[in-house]
Chains A and B, each alone.
Chain A
Amino acid sequence: MASTSHVSRGLTNKKMTGRPKSSLLILLILMPVWAQDSPERAGYFEVRSAATTLVDGVHVLEGRLQLVLSGEALNALNSGVALRIELNLEVIRTRRFWTDPAEAELVVSYELEYRPLSQRYIVRNLNSGDQDSFATLYSALNTLGRVQGLPVVDDAILEPDKIYRIRLRARLSTEQYPAPLRILFFWRDQWQLQSEWFEWLLER
């Protein structure tokens, strides 16, 4: 599913095949195992569809994402920990004989939070500062997964005769958390929620 998740599992397996006599490696092996102690649902992020349309010289994104939180993320959310979900957008120029450079990058960050007093889920757009509240998590994630009219790139800054690709992914960011949580999340698959890149050609 999510590529980061796969990488993390691969790393874990590799370390588990190391020298069993080594107390250090035992520690290294045990750390992820010790971290994975909640066999709840795994959760996943997926880009179902995405497309851009040129509206008034600006390429605007319309997309649908499936955001399913893992058990641990849900547990953290209900324990007052705000989750940050990022949409990564990259506009990449396609070149024939060279690596393709990213001409523009856009990160849209949302914060999902549960408020116990109102018993509502708050979705806050960190780029614009807008926020909205929802009675259910489903509503909140559904709203989050519906991207409408998001301006991506001004067509004027793109070279007219070049071919561009756009790719989109959603990921659960953990960089904003305090140190203890980050060390914990580093080893846990349930916190490595990230969709595959969804890629399409920029129509002009």
Chain B
Amino acid sequence: MVTRTLKRLAYTVFGATGVGLALTALFLLSRTAQNSEDFDRLHILILLINVAGVLVLFALLIGNLARLWRDYRNHVPGAKLKARMVGMSVSLAVVPLLVVFYFSMQFINRGIDTWFNVEVEKGLDDALALSRAALEMQMRDHLRTTVKIADRLREVSGRQLFFELSMLRRESGANEITVFGRNRRILATSSDLAANTMPQAPRDEVILQISQNRPFVSLDPLERGSYQIRTAVAFGDSSRPESVGVIQAQFPVTERIGRMANNVDSSYSEYKRLLYLREPLKRTFTLTLTVVLMLSLLTSIYGAFVLSRRLVAPIQNLVAGTQAVAKGDFDTRLPTPSRDEIGFLVSSFNDMTEKLSEAQRQASLSQALVEAERTNLEVILARLSTGVVALESDMKIRTANQASGAILNVDLENRVGENLIDAAKGHPLLQQFVDVAQVHLHSGETEWREQIVLRGEVGRRVLTCACTTLPGDKDHAAGFVVVFDDITALLQAQRDAAWGEVARRLAHEIKNPLTPIQLSAERLRRKYINTMPEEEVQVLDRATHTIVQQVEAMKEMVNAFSDYARAPDIDINLFSLDKLAHEVVDLYRAQESGIEIILNTDPTLTHIEADIGRLRQILHNLIRNSIEALENIDRKGRIEVRISKIEVQEIEVAEIVVEDNGTGFKTGSVSQVFDPYVTTKPKGTGLGLAIVKKLVEEHGGTIEAENLDEGGAVIRIQLPVNEPAREAMMAMLPGRGDKRRERA
């Protein structure tokens, strides 16, 4: 900022100096044009000031032009406007200046030319020639006179020479006559000039001409504008050159003629001088005018730069401010330059940015609130055990919570933005879910509710699903929200609870009258068996025996119900499954000699963490179930028990398979074999497999049943071998994930 201010100050000082120098130079030029003496004195100074002024202005202009060009190329805001303004100003300044310059030059040239005239020149030439002719006539006369004097003096010598010379001088009207001998020695002289004036010795030119036997005559200009005629002739014996002297005479030109001749001479010289000065004058005036033009031009161009800069500066500020606003900086405030229209514009801009700033602040607050609400919603959604998936109208996933991924066994949270249909590929649960949803959506049904059964690798899942549209435009929905709950466990629990209640009540209601019935039957037999005739005794005995037997059977059934309803705490211990299986199988091998019971165990599976009592019950129930299924068949019964260790989705599980070649399940009841009171056997209570399923699920395992194509049935149980495996299986089981999370 300080640097910028200093730079601006330096520019201002520099500019002011240039303009000041230019103005000073112009002023001095105008002064010197009026008074040449001043000019003589200030000639170099003015020249230097002119040059310095022009250089300063020129340097400023170069700097300004370079900056303008740079700004123009870099597309600096306002550069084009500035260039246009400078161009216009320069055009406005240059054209009139050039016009004035042209006309001034014309005036100068023509004005100077009018000083000269051919006729005047001719007249002056004639006057000079006339004057010269008049004077030459006198010169010839005086030369003749001098020759005569020389002739008369030729015979005279000694003292007589001086007297004769004086007489002849007076007669001839000469000012001075001197006779020079050899080596310019004065032999005699006569003069009417001052007594102390020495006669002037003949010059070289005189001697030269005399030596060439030519008389000498010249018109000598004197001080004060007068003339004299100087003549010289040889004196002595011309046959002996060494004895030749010189007679030199000076004749006055009459004052009137001399004055007139001098006037002609001066006028002629002055005219010639002016002629000579004509071109220098023109050039000097041209030069002066050019310098003035350059100074004016450069000053006006520089002024155009300064003015355009001042005019454009607020606009540049405005553009910079607008760009700042465009970039989101609403705190920009521009300095108000003046109270004109631009000032009004700038203050309007400031008002606008202030309002925008306030609006942005409000928007930020609102956004922060929305963000907070959104965060809360996300937290709530994340904590929900209900799956929530929001979809765009084109089935793109907008949001999905963690529960949705857990229920559908797909990480939907990380697939936001993908199409749900694409995301479903390779994920059977999600695929079934999408299929159901698409059926509704394709039929134009945007708000629906349905219970969906999904079949997965580890059993089936029952979801209650509800879909609703998201608010959007008038005609188009912004998308859908599908909310679904895994109610598999809930349904199972409800079913278990219901059956438990039924069993408990049955046990309670049936068991109570059974004992009195049994006791009454036994009492009847005991009381009347000895009193009744033999044939009746048999009837009584058979009847009471039947009653007691059936009551026992009913007691067994009731106890079974009671066992189903009662669920003692599970007791997990590490034991050998192999050993347990052998015990149970051996028991049945002893009892059922007509049935082949095969046991295959896995040497890698030695121990398992489970409730040994429940597991024994499971094996008993399964083998008994198979044995019952083998009754009333015409081929030899065979039961195969296979125990192996396998991995299901990287979880170690023990698989117990019990396969028989009996009657198998009724085709329609395979899916319901584990429900209570579902049985195909005449003696079954319908609780055996239901209890097995309950026990298996208590261990976190899975159970499934199916008929074999070659006859018979197979029941497959998968049990976790240890606690970590149980945890993992529980998480995979339908409706158990939530519980796991809650425990975590």
> B40, B218, B269: which has the most chain A beta carbons within 10 Å?
B269
- Would you list which residues of chain B between 125 and 145 have a CB under 8 Å from chain A? 128, 131-132, 135
Complex: chain B residue closest to A18, CB-CB: B55
> What residues on A are CB-neighbors of B221 within 8 Å?
115, 117-118, 120, 122, 133
Given known A116-B269, A135-B218, contact A79–B276 (CB-CB < 8 A): yes
Q: Are A80 and B270 in contact (CB under 8 A)?
A: yes
> What residues on B are CB-neighbors of A182 within 8 Å?
39-40, 43
Interface of B: prevailing SS: helix
Q: Does B272 contact A (CB under 8 A)?
A: yes
Complex: chain A residue closest to B205, CB-CB: A135
Q: Are A31 and B287 in contact (CB under 8 A)?
A: yes
Minimal beta-carbon separation of A4 from chain B (angstroms): 13
Minimal beta-carbon separation of A124 from chain B (angstroms): 8
Q: Are B280 and A180 in contact (CB under 8 A)?
A: yes
Question: Of A79, A116, A122, A139, which is within 8 A of B204 by CB?
Answer: A139
Contact with A along B510-546 (1 / 0, CB 8 A): 0000000000000000000000000000000000000
- Would you list which residues of chain A between 167 and 204 have a CB under 8 Å from chain B? 175, 178-184, 186
Q: Does A23 contact B (CB under 8 A)?
A: yes
Question: Of B205, B227, B265, which is within 8 A of A116 by CB?
Answer: B265
Q: Are B270 and A117 in contact (CB under 8 A)?
A: no
Q: Are A139 and B205 in contact (CB under 8 A)?
A: yes
- Would you list which residues of chain B between 197 and 233 have a CB under 8 Å from chain A? 203-205, 218-223, 227
Distance in angstroms between the alpha carbons of A27 and B295 in the assembled complex: 13
Complex: chain B residue closest to A118, CB-CB: B219
Q: Are B219 and A120 in contact (CB under 8 A)?
A: yes
Given known A139-B203, A139-B205, A184-B283, contact A118–B220 (CB-CB < 8 A): yes
Q: Does A24 contact B (CB under 8 A)?
A: yes
Minimal beta-carbon separation of A72 from chain B (angstroms): 10
Q: Are A28 and B269 in contact (CB under 8 A)?
A: no
Q: Does B419 contact A (CB under 8 A)?
A: no
Counting chain A residues whose Cβ lies within 8 A of the other chain, the interface size class is 35 or more
Q: Are B273 and A80 in contact (CB under 8 A)?
A: yes
Q: Does A160 contact B (CB under 8 A)?
A: no
Given known A24-B55, A115-B221, A175-B40, contact A80–B135 (CB-CB < 8 A): no
- Would you list which residues of chain A between 8 and 47 have a CB under 8 Å from chain B? 22-24, 27-28, 31, 34-35
Distance in angstroms between the alpha carbons of A183 and B279 in the assembled complex: 12
Given known A120-B221, A179-B36, contact A115–B205 (CB-CB < 8 A): no
Distance in angstroms between the alpha carbons of A133 and B206 in the assembled complex: 12
Minimal beta-carbon separation of B464 from chain A (angstroms): 88
Given known A131-B223, A139-B205, contact A117–B58 (CB-CB < 8 A): no
Distance in angstroms between the alpha carbons of A120 and B221 in the assembled complex: 8
Complex: chain A residue closest to B271, CB-CB: A80
Distance in angstroms between the alpha carbons of A23 and B223 in the assembled complex: 51
> What residues on B are CB-neighbors of A24 within 8 Å?
54-55, 58, 294, 298
- Would you list which residues of chain B between 452 and 491 have a CB under 8 Å from chain A? none
> What residues on A are CB-neighbors of B175 within 8 Å?
none
Q: Are A134 and B205 in contact (CB under 8 A)?
A: yes
Q: Are A76 and B281 in contact (CB under 8 A)?
A: no
Q: Are A80 and B131 in contact (CB under 8 A)?
A: no
Q: How many A-B residue pairs have CB under 8 A?
A: 102
Q: Does B600 contact A (CB under 8 A)?
A: no
Distance in angstroms between the alpha carbons of A190 and B276 in the assembled complex: 16
Complex: chain A residue closest to B229, CB-CB: A118
Q: Does B277 contact A (CB under 8 A)?
A: yes
Distance in angstroms between the alpha carbons of A49 and B36 in the assembled complex: 38
Q: Are B275 and A79 in contact (CB under 8 A)?
A: yes
Given known A133-B218, A135-B205, A179-B40, contact A115–B269 (CB-CB < 8 A): yes
Q: Does A3 contact B (CB under 8 A)?
A: no
Distance in angstroms between the alpha carbons of A179 and B277 in the assembled complex: 10
Minimal beta-carbon separation of B47 from chain A (angstroms): 8
Complex: chain B residue closest to A135, CB-CB: B205
Minimal beta-carbon separation of A115 from chain B (angstroms): 5
Q: Are A34 and B283 in contact (CB under 8 A)?
A: yes
Minimal beta-carbon separation of B258 from chain A (angstroms): 10
The tally of residues in B whose CB lies under 8 Å from a CB in A reads 46
> What residues on A are CB-neighbors of B220 within 8 Å?
118, 120, 133
> What residues on B are CB-neighbors of A80 within 8 Å?
268-273, 276
Contact with A along B126-170 (1 / 0, CB 8 A): 001001100100000000000000000000000000000000000
Complex: chain A residue closest to B127, CB-CB: A117
Minimal beta-carbon separation of B109 from chain A (angstroms): 14
Q: Does B32 contact A (CB under 8 A)?
A: yes
Given known A22-B58, A81-B273, A115-B265, contact A136–B205 (CB-CB < 8 A): yes
Distance in angstroms between the alpha carbons of A122 and B262 in the assembled complex: 14
Minimal beta-carbon separation of B184 from chain A (angstroms): 16
Q: Are B272 and A79 in contact (CB under 8 A)?
A: yes
Q: Does B717 contact A (CB under 8 A)?
A: no
> What residues on A are CB-neighbors of B262 within 8 Å?
117
Minimal beta-carbon separation of A202 from chain B (angstroms): 32
Distance in angstroms between the alpha carbons of A14 and B218 in the assembled complex: 51
> What residues on A are CB-neighbors of B283 within 8 Å?
34-35, 180, 183-184
Distance in angstroms between the alpha carbons of A131 and B221 in the assembled complex: 9
Q: Are A117 and B294 in contact (CB under 8 A)?
A: no
Q: Does B12 contact A (CB under 8 A)?
A: no
Complex: chain A residue closest to B125, CB-CB: A116
Q: Are A117 and B135 in contact (CB under 8 A)?
A: yes
Q: Are B204 and A117 in contact (CB under 8 A)?
A: no
Q: Are A117 and B265 in contact (CB under 8 A)?
A: yes
Minimal beta-carbon separation of A200 from chain B (angstroms): 28
> What residues on B are CB-neighbors of A23 within 8 Å?
294
> What residues on B are CB-neighbors of A81 within 8 Å?
273, 276
Minimal beta-carbon separation of A162 from chain B (angstroms): 35
Q: Does B183 contact A (CB under 8 A)?
A: no
Complex: chain B residue closest to A124, CB-CB: B223
Q: Are B205 and A179 in contact (CB under 8 A)?
A: no
Contact with B along A105-137 (1 / 0, CB 8 A): 000000000011110101000000101011110
Q: Does B290 contact A (CB under 8 A)?
A: yes
Q: Does B318 contact A (CB under 8 A)?
A: no
Q: Does B687 contact A (CB under 8 A)?
A: no
Question: Of B36, B40, B47, B265, which is within 8 A of A118 by CB?
Answer: B265
Complex: chain B residue closest to A77, CB-CB: B276
Contact with A along B253-277 (1 / 0, CB 8 A): 0000000011011001111110111
Contact with A along B50-94 (1 / 0, CB 8 A): 010011001000000000000000000000000000000000000
Given known A116-B272, A117-B128, contact A179–B287 (CB-CB < 8 A): no
Q: Does B366 contact A (CB under 8 A)?
A: no
Distance in angstroms between the alpha carbons of A95 and B128 in the assembled complex: 59
Question: Of B270, B272, B277, which is within 8 A of A178 by CB?
Answer: B277
> A34, A80, A184, A186: which has the most chain B beta carbons within 10 Å?
A80
- Can you spell out 13 A-B residue pairs with CB atoms less than 8 angstroms apart? A27-B294, A79-B275, A80-B276, A81-B273, A117-B135, A117-B219, A120-B219, A133-B218, A135-B218, A136-B205, A179-B40, A179-B284, A183-B43
Q: Which 7 residue pairs spanning A and B have beta carbons closest together?
A: A79-B276, A80-B269, A117-B265, A80-B273, A180-B284, A80-B272, A118-B219
